[in-house]
Structure 1
Amino acid sequence: KIHVDNRYTQRIMTNFRRTRLLYTTVALYVVICLVPMIKALRIYNFTEPSEFGPLYPINVFAYPDRTIGIRLTNRFSCPQQPTTFALRFLDPNGALNAQNLNFTFPIINFCPINRIRIFTLPDNYLLIRYWKVIDNSSIQYAGLIVSMDGEIIDPELQLSNTLSIPNTTHPNSVATLNFAQKGILYVSIYDQLSINWTRYVWDSNRGSLTQLSHDVIKSPRNFQIDDAKCFTTIDGGFGVVYSASLTPQSVTANATFPNPVTALVFMTFMRLGENNFSSTSIIYETTYPQVRISIRSCQQNHVDHPGYVCFIRVRAAANLTAGNSAWDFWRMISFFSTGTLISTLDLANNLIFDSSGIILINYTRADSLYYGGFLMTGTNQANYSQGSIYDKDGNFIQDWGIDSLNGTIFSILNNNTIFAAVPAQNNLGDSWELYSNDISPLANSTYMNPTIVSAYPPVNESIPLALKSINVTYNIEVTPSLANISIYQRTNTGLGVVDFLRQTLPASSPNVRFNDSVVSIDVLSCTFNQQGQIYFVVIDGNFAKAKEFNEPLLGVGNGTWMFRTKTGNNNSFTDDVDVIARLSSSASAFFVALSVSERHNFLNEMLISFSETIPANISRLSIMDRFQYDGESKRAQILLKMTIRSTRDLSQMNSMQIYEDMNMLVTNKSITSLMFYNSTASLDSDYGVLRLQNLWEKYRYHFAVVICVIFVSLVIVFLAHNRYPQGKSMSLFKFILVIADFVLDGIFLFDYVEDVPRLYFPYLGIILAAMSFNFFITMFIFFREFYGNTPFHQWMKKRKTIPFVFFLLGYVDLESLNLICSKVARFKIFQAPLTSTATRWIYLGSLVSVFMEDIPQLVILVRLHALKVRRITVDVEYH
């Protein structure tokens, strides 16, 4: 026996009216949750501070992540009020979180019996159900929502209408969903004539419950409802099983049901996406007189076939007058969600010592175990709790392994571990003990799903990088259903262990193939991309259905189907890579409307998303905060430029591998965690991520041609100058620059400014205005010289075509007219006898063009930068 003596080291009072009690940390890694295959009883002792009075365990509960909760209370005689409402939480890593709830419950909740019930909620919250007193004869069921930190979120959630106190003896229960649709179902029997149910939706952000739907399930005519249990279903819905018996006033002959049925068990389901229950089905009936059936528990069936299982207890008092003996027996009922009965199994109501016939245990409770079989518990001759393990056929296997002690309260974790809280043996209330025992599997427990025979990769195996497919094999033929299969990467971070979603696929995906009993799943090449990392597969309940019965099958939970990638691969070095991604049209409009700081946050979130999803160190990723519109898209879509930096660590992914995975992720964003970020969810998956080529590599020959043209032009100018030094030889070079300027203006207009609609028409107007001005000045000079300058008139008659071309080029830029009178190399074509007035008009016109065209173009460029738009040269490599 292990004794762990814990003393409080700190106590902090907060404005949430809570008391945090921090225990001295010990190396308490509770094997309950971590090593389910070890079969050994473990006992842990916890000491409570004396200032809160004697404290004794009274309620236990467990979360899906195997965090254990224990409620402690004082034992005072009525009408004395308990002074402490103590909650203790033990997480899977062994850390103990102690909270004393600062809330005053009405004394009727403690005296004469405990009426408090505790139910787990999603996101590690609790619903504490209690009685709210209305007056001396009536109450309401109310719920208090509290966090594991002791913060009260809602002190008075109404769970029922006003009830008379005698009617509160009727059962009520809560079923909690912990799936994506998060919610609870509250079921209560008010007057034995109907079951009142209310479905609530859980808001994770506010930690609150909102009523979604409410209705009643009425009892059959001449019958009264005796008991009811609700539970969650494999497909993410709810189920209710209830029993009904003939009312004392009813006669045995009943027109509604075949004679002489006296008691029945019904089932009904609320399926995923529905807000009401289906029609009821009968799964058990009896004709024994004056019988009452209690529903002890109902759960999903963890045996080698799908469906659900309920444990019922059938009891009837002896009637000597009628000659009827007493009845008291247990029965296990297995059934499908359609209402079809699978089987029934009679169970013993006690455990008898074979040699003497002495009753060792009188059973009062039965629970299905997660790895096959079931647990029956009750009291022994000393009135202490004791339990027995049975297989699915009802054969006794072993004792439950927990010491027989007074005041034992217990529950079962989803890894087949039984845990029990009991007062310390001295019974002074100064300490309490936690017992745990791992129950040996009675069915295939490798995947915590007895219908799964095998899977690839096997559990704990090493796999190569970029594995392209996985598969799972069932023991029956299966067909696709509605839920998903997902792959996660488990990573140790500074905040602890974090599970990152790598890929998720619905059963209906074309990348999921069902072939008899085998399901094959195609995996993205970027999913298993990290060396020596742990990955695991989660199969949601209702991912597959049994083909023969059309019944949803259980899934595989978090961290069960786990394996690791191999190590030892060295990657080649690649240089920095520039890439572009495109926002969708709606996201582009949203992005443009953001403020500068909001855009900065948007882009930062995109970097974080890629860093976590690839995954890659965020220092290797950067994004340009300036953008452009995609001119090739018919819709206004923004292009964003990112840079992937290289690394000298060859054990890490190189920049090209990151680029390829980034493109794969964006192209398939709907099945990756990119969809969980607003920024990356806004990316255009059809566009993907495109690599920008190195401009020098792509255009080096173009650059060489330009340099050659410039060189040749300068050589020609030099030769022309040598031939005739008095000529204006540089006019030829200016002419070449004028033509190049015109071509670049056109490219800028149609391939750049078009990306910014608000600047396109102003820029086009500037070009047209300048050309119009040049046209009028050119025509003015031409007609003035042609009709007023005789030498020019004679020169034009001799050379009709070529001079006319130069005058047309004057429309583009007046500087072209200087070439025809430049006398370059003393060629006749360049010796137009223009008057000094004409050359002055050319000069003045060129000067005006600077103000009409060049300066406004500069303003446009400044405006583009003010809009934080930078040209991304979209020279890409397509895949």
Structure 2
Amino acid sequence: MYLGAWINSTIQLNINKKLGFLRFDSNQSYWSWGQYSIDDSGNLVSGDKTRMNTIDRMTLYRYSNSPITIISTVDNGYVIVTVFDGILESYKKSDNSDSLLPRGGLHAFFISYNKTETSYNINFKGTDIYQISQPNMTISSVYCDTTDIYIMCIVSVNNKITMHYVSIIFDSSGVVRSRKVISDVTGLSQQSWSAKILPFGGFILGLTAYNNIDNNTYHYIYAYNISNSQIPLKSPGPFLTNYFGANAITNNNTFLLALPYAIDNISWSLLTIPVPTDYGYDNTLVKQTIPSINSIVNSSTTTLNITFVYNIALSTGNITIYKASNNSIRQRISATMQEFCKIDGYTVSIKIINSTFNEYGEQYFVTMDSNFVRRIQTNEPLKGIHDGIWILKSDNFDIYSDAILGSARLTTDASKSFLKRNQLSYIDTLLVEFAHKVPIHRSRLSTNYRFEVLNGQIAIPIHIDMARNKTERSSSKVFSDLNNMITYKNITTFSSGMTNDLDQDYGFKEIKNYWNEHKVQIIIGFVIFIIFYLILNYKFKSKIFEAISSAILGLPNFILSVLFVIYYSDDVPELYWPRYSTK
């Protein structure tokens, strides 16, 4: 770093942008690279750093500084692909016994994500992915990128007379899966073709050339699939372009080309050339999802299914469901959670809890990390689904329900901390977090602040008021949401903040209102009692009956008084039931 700036450096973003980037620099003697990320406060955090000599004393290779390409891999690592020269002149044998050894080629170095150690390796291990065995041949250019499952490189090899192009496909362990010569590059001089790897497999060869006859600049492109067969384009070209022939490939497999300058030589526009694409997920390996893109979901949606074109096995990545309006996480599932992830051949099924899609008129999007699943046959990690692709919409309409009184319990450790702090403030903050994370309007949540201590754990009573209109979640559904988000807090936003203090084994339990539950039976019993009393009083008028009837009439009063103290003493400060104890 010089004067606060990195110079002569190459920056490569991780395939998962949240994991930061790799910085690479070099000189004639060594390479060095380091991994960096941005923390939640926006600070740059430095990770693994490695230095490697450009001369390997074991293989006698000399790695050149150019051309070098750096690729992000599906398993969140990186690959550095570089040209190497064969045996150094000072090490060649006079009898030419080393003439069968490689005279150069391509070498790949594999870098795992987020190593913990710092190393300064004299010989950092990699693997050859292409070797030149004949003299007077050099590699002129290298274009590499990650496809849905493998890494693909297009290499131009020059023998000073003719340019040849070779496609190389290899996996994340360095095993070369395919190495083919591209034999049908025709039409113009084979010099100076550039290559671009298509996101869904295959590649494009392109060339910008000036036509001396009509004094225009044209761009020629040829598209190929992963088997090196040409793909017919709807518009075969050539295409008029500007002097630079500026072009790019978008994530949806569209080729963008700069058109000639406008008359004022200031403005210009883009030509879009579609290339055969996928099933709509920016991933040719994902064949279908249920629900599909833009489908309707609600609280009764209990499963997400993703079907691939290969037999798959679970790996290590995550599937995350976000609320689109504020990018908050509704549910995050790791492939290692067997309770939530099931595989059936080509399809993975994800269990969804009822609180995930619980808001009326909201949009959600589902992302799948690369390396969430692997292809069984090759054990290669598969590419995921990035944000903004798999969008779902909710249409929740709830049936009216009465207000509900429930309780949430703190963990043992959180209960000890609770008793030493401002308890009213703690409960207020907890209710604010409930309102934000469920979500529910804060005015519908209330408490009398009279917590209960049982077996060393605090239980806090919470009242859920009835919905104010039909678009709001009913009190019974909010009760269910709270129970689910506490029970499964490790996969919801309840895993952070004050809600993480809640006991997931307890969940959210209803505090019974016995009058509402049994009022019909009580009223009927009371009416029957009055009728019998009047009949008996009419037939037996005596002092003994008056004494018996007074006792009978007093018994219900005694029983109801005891029940009142048991269940409602919290609401009357003068009453206190011994089971509520803070000791």
Q: TM-score range by the shorter chain?
A: 0.7 to 0.9
- Residue 664 of structure 1 aligns to a residue whose secondary structure is helix
For residues 410 and 585 of structure 1, the distance between their equivalents in structure 2, rounded to whole angstroms, comes to 61
Aligned to 2:243: 406
For residues 508 and 208 of structure 2, the distance between their equivalents in structure 1, rounded to whole angstroms, comes to 67
Tell me the CA shift for residue 347 of structure 1.
3.2
Aligned to 1:575: 402
**2:338 aligned with 1:338, yes or no?**
no
Matches within 5 A, 1:14-93: none
Identity %, equivalent residues: 20
Tell me the CA shift for residue 553 of structure 1.
0.4
TM-score normalised by L of structure 2:
0.78
Deviations 1:410-465 (A, max 9, x none): 4333222344568944576xx44342515232x42422211222222233344565
**2:59 aligned with 1:225, yes or no?**
no
**2:287 aligned with 1:453, yes or no?**
yes
Aligned to 2:505: 686
For residues 401 and 630 of structure 1, the distance between their equivalents in structure 2, rounded to whole angstroms, comes to 79
For residues 594 and 433 of structure 1, the distance between their equivalents in structure 2, rounded to whole angstroms, comes to 65
Aligned to 2:308: 474
**2:412 aligned with 1:585, yes or no?**
yes
- Residue 313 of structure 2 aligns to a residue whose secondary structure is strand
Aligned to 1:662: 482
For residues 458 and 409 of structure 2, the distance between their equivalents in structure 1, rounded to whole angstroms, comes to 6
Aligned to 2:336: 508
Aligned to 2:221: 388
1:559 to 377, 383, 388: 388
Verify the 8 A CA contact 1:402 1:437 in the aligned structure 2. no
For residues 401 and 628 of structure 1, the distance between their equivalents in structure 2, rounded to whole angstroms, comes to 77
For residues 297 and 376 of structure 1, the distance between their equivalents in structure 2, rounded to whole angstroms, comes to 10
1:195 to 17, 20, 31: 31
**2:281 aligned with 1:435, yes or no?**
no
For residues 482 and 167 of structure 2, the distance between their equivalents in structure 1, rounded to whole angstroms, comes to 53
Verify the 8 A CA contact 1:453 1:473 in the aligned structure 2. yes
Q: How many residues align?
A: 529
Residue identity matched to 1:585: T
Deviations 1:77-96 (A, max 9, x none): xxxxxxxxxxxxxxxxxxxx
2:436 to 589, 604, 609: 609
2:83 to 239, 243, 248: 243
Verify the 8 A CA contact 1:307 1:337 in the aligned structure 2. yes
Aligned to 2:534: none
Verify the 8 A CA contact 1:466 1:527 in the aligned structure 2. no
**2:383 aligned with 1:542, yes or no?**
no
Q: Is there any run of 5+ residues in structure 2 with no aligned partner, and where?
A: 530-542, 548-557, 570-574
2:11 to 139, 153, 174: 174
CA 1:400–1:506: 2 relative to 1, 3 Å: farther
Tell me the CA shift for residue 299 of structure 1.
1.5
Aligned to 1:84: none
TM-score normalised by L of structure 1:
0.54
Aligned to 2:153: 310
Aligned to 1:299: 145
Residue identity matched to 1:644: I
Verify the 8 A CA contact 1:350 1:362 in the aligned structure 2. no
Verify the 8 A CA contact 2:451 2:461 in the aligned structure 1. no
Verify the 8 A CA contact 1:242 1:265 in the aligned structure 2. yes
For residues 175 and 645 of structure 1, the distance between their equivalents in structure 2, rounded to whole angstroms, comes to 52
Q: Is there any run of 5+ residues in structure 1 with no aligned partner, and where?
A: 1-140, 143-154, 160-167, 318-325, 353-357, 491-496, 709-718, 724-735, 758-879
Aligned to 1:524: 353
2:108 to 263, 267, 277: 267
For residues 652 and 309 of structure 1, the distance between their equivalents in structure 2, rounded to whole angstroms, comes to 51
1:213 to 15, 27, 49: 49
Tell me the CA shift for residue 365 of structure 1.
2.5
RMSD: 4.0
Tell me the CA shift for residue 279 of structure 1.
3.2
Tell me the CA shift for residue 408 of structure 1.
4.3
Residue identity matched to 2:486: V
For residues 503 and 258 of structure 1, the distance between their equivalents in structure 2, rounded to whole angstroms, comes to 60
Residue identity matched to 1:639: A
Verify the 8 A CA contact 1:229 1:297 in the aligned structure 2. yes
Tell me the CA shift for residue 689 of structure 1.
0.6
Aligned to 2:4: 156
For residues 157 and 599 of structure 1, the distance between their equivalents in structure 2, rounded to whole angstroms, comes to 46
Tell me the CA shift for residue 282 of structure 1.
1.4
- Residue 586 of structure 1 aligns to a residue whose secondary structure is helix
For residues 411 and 256 of structure 1, the distance between their equivalents in structure 2, rounded to whole angstroms, comes to 47
- Residue 380 of structure 1 aligns to a residue whose secondary structure is strand
For residues 206 and 664 of structure 1, the distance between their equivalents in structure 2, rounded to whole angstroms, comes to 33
Residue identity matched to 2:46: T
For residues 514 and 341 of structure 1, the distance between their equivalents in structure 2, rounded to whole angstroms, comes to 29
Tell me the CA shift for residue 288 of structure 1.
2.4
Tell me the CA shift for residue 244 of structure 1.
0.3
Residue identity matched to 1:330: Y
CA 1:201–1:571: 2 relative to 1, 3 Å: closer
2:466 to 646, 658, 663: 646
State which drifts further: 222-231 or 399-408.
Answer: 399-408
CA 1:513–1:507: 2 relative to 1, 3 Å: same
For residues 645 and 463 of structure 1, the distance between their equivalents in structure 2, rounded to whole angstroms, comes to 25
Tell me the CA shift for residue 341 of structure 1.
0.6
For residues 589 and 433 of structure 1, the distance between their equivalents in structure 2, rounded to whole angstroms, comes to 68
Verify the 8 A CA contact 2:165 2:182 in the aligned structure 1. yes
Larger-Rg structure = 1
CA 1:604–1:253: 2 relative to 1, 3 Å: farther
Tell me the CA shift for residue 471 of structure 1.
1.6
For residues 197 and 256 of structure 1, the distance between their equivalents in structure 2, rounded to whole angstroms, comes to 37
Deviations 1:596-636 (A, max 9, x none): 79637732541343343xxx3444x32437352431x3xx4
CA 1:702–1:158: 2 relative to 1, 3 Å: farther
CA 1:478–1:611: 2 relative to 1, 3 Å: closer
- Residue 480 of structure 2 aligns to a residue whose secondary structure is helix
For residues 271 and 644 of structure 1, the distance between their equivalents in structure 2, rounded to whole angstroms, comes to 49
Deviations 1:182-202 (A, max 9, x none): 2211122311x5322122232
